[in-house]
Amino acid sequence: MMAVLGENRYGKAEVRVVHVDRSRQPHTIRDWNVSISLAGDMREVHLSGANDRVLPTDTQKNTVYAFAQRLGNVEPEVFALALARHFVDDRAGISRARVQLDSYGWNPIGPHSLARAGGEIRTVTVIQDEQSGSWVLGGLRELTLLNTTDSEFWGFARDEYTTLAETTDRMLATSVEARWRFRSADCDWAAAHDKARQALLDAFTGTYSYSLQQSLYAMGCRVLAEAPQVCEVRLALPNKHHFLVDLSPFGLPNDNEVYLAADRPYGLIEGQVLAEDAPEPGPAWS
């Protein structure tokens, strides 16, 4: 029986680069974790170990640092696009590059001092494809949100394994992971990010929710409405269960006051919301 090589890619993952801009006070920084994946005709290296088409992952790491100096204080989407295009357009034998980037927030606390913002991480993915060009995904993850009320869950399907009680007032919490596809590779990235982020917050807090799916769909729709540069949103929303504790054995009431925050298991709701006129995604999500 013959084996054949299928899809493959390689690259350097988790290059930690920090860029400082001292041109203005307060100083600002870009604090990123950059991962690169390259694909091309790589049969030889798999079959015989001949490396002449392999740009070392060490070189890719060096390129990240060099580009950080060359490009300076730019939005992460700009950086990822430049880096991905460099590999596909300016290096031999690379037909597709993916650059993924996590951006950590910092807040100024002095003219040259900052405190890590904590909370959510801004994400960028760029695919540069020899055939189809540039694809940009914005996003964020670890944005943890909670509504203390205005959430119900009832009327669900039941079978012999169903023991869950219906509720007309529950706590609803999630840790938002969202990615959105831009229509083009040219955009006011910072403004678009802020609008998409705010849309997620507004839809989560403003939706009287009968299910987390409903909140998810509202969040996706709101991003599309507020950020017209975006044509598709994908969301993964863990249902971070908060269970009301039964205090009746101790003679105590619990009028939606004391909750147990559970770790595992958790519900996981995943969905995609598209603009009606969204173009085909091509390799954007690959």
Q: Which residues are catalytic?
A: 12, 57, 241
Output 33 or 132, the one with its CB closest to a copy of itself.
Answer: 33
Output 191 or 260, the one with its CB closest to a copy of itself.
Answer: 260
Instruction: Please state the closest distance from residue 80 (CB atom) to a copy of itself, in A.
Output: 16
DSSP 8-class letter at 124: E
Provide CB contacts within 8 A for 262, sequence distance 6+: 240, 241, 242, 243
Contact 176, 237 (CB under 8 A): yes
3-state secondary structure at position 238? strand
Output 184 or 205, the one with its CB closest to a copy of itself.
Answer: 205
What is the H or E stretch that residue 87 is in? helix 76-90
Contact 114, 107 (CB under 8 A): yes
Output 148 or 186, the one with its CB closest to a copy of itself.
Answer: 148
> Distance between CA atoms of 36 and 84, rounded to whole angstroms?
8
Residue 271 tokens read as 């969905």
3-state secondary structure at position 28? strand
Instruction: Please state the closest distance from residue 188 (CB atom) to a copy of itself, in A.
Output: 19
> Distance between CA atoms of 48 and 44, rounded to whole angstroms?
6
Instruction: Please state the closest distance from residue 193 (CB atom) to a copy of itself, in A.
Output: 16
Instruction: Please state the closest distance from residue 183 (CB atom) to a copy of itself, in A.
Output: 12
* CA neighbours closer than 13 Å in the CB half-sphere of residue 36: 29
Output 8 or 184, the one with its CB closest to a copy of itself.
Answer: 8
> Distance between CA atoms of 193 and 58, rounded to whole angstroms?
31
Instruction: Please state the closest distance from residue 249 (CB atom) to a copy of itself, in A.
Output: 5
Residue 247 tokens read as 């205090």
